[in-house]
Amino acid sequence: MDLGLAGKVALVSGGASNIGRAISMVLAGEGAHVAILDRDVMQAEKTAGEIAAAGGKASVHGVDVTEIAAVDAAVAEVEAAHGAPDVLVNNVGWNGDARFFLDLEPERWEKAYRLNLFPTFALTRAVLGRMRDRRAGSIVSIASDAAFGEHRVADYGAMKAGVATFMRSIAKEYGRFGVRANTVAPGLVIPDEADIGEGSLWQQQVGFGPKEIQYMEASIPLKRRPEALDIAWTVAFLASERARMLTGQIVSVSGGFNMPR
């Protein structure tokens, strides 16, 4: 099915590695020009090269999305070179080692906020006025199944729930301007080593052993973990006009582990 994304300009934060990489490649495969916003420029260049080799279009913009000025400058740079953004995918995120709530120090909460919730605010702020003025645009933010409440990830889950609530507010406020805002909540996606760069936040994640993975898969109704492409296909659909009546929604891509109402 043609998603109608050909010729669109799509910004993908954290678009170099893992889920972001898959999103960048799928959107480019649908004909969009993908602007990869990532602090890991080397991995972003690699992803952009793979997109180009497949006949797609991508540009790399090294940016720290926790800095408002840097975000504003990157969005202006993309617009000057390729046109105003039609699609924004807020994909940056980080989760530390699992801890009970009382073991989470204030610094951990601050880091969780700066890397999970703040970048979504910053990028949405940078593109939303442009979308409002053009009376068209789609924002898709990546949350997590932790947003529905999971043990030992209170900080991460709270920030990702904030992402989903923020998107619903944007959907209600700016729908009259033709702007849609939705959230995708992935289950745990474990990347291949080739899918992440040395500067990726995934390098700071705690690994999962065979026993943890087996236990997790047993708890999923479909009995398998989602892959990055599963998330990317969902994002591409929500970003497209084929989903023109979907806004303010949160879609769990977890094999049925969570079934939000």
Exactly one of 113, 156, 174, 215 is catalytic; name it: 156
Check if 156 is active-site. Answer: yes
How far is 157 from 192, CA to CA, in rounded Å?
24
Using only the alpha carbons of the chain, give its radius of gyration. Answer: 17
Question: Strand pairing of 33-38 and 57-62?
Answer: parallel
Question: Strand pairing of 179-186 and 137-142?
Answer: parallel
The catalytic residues are 156
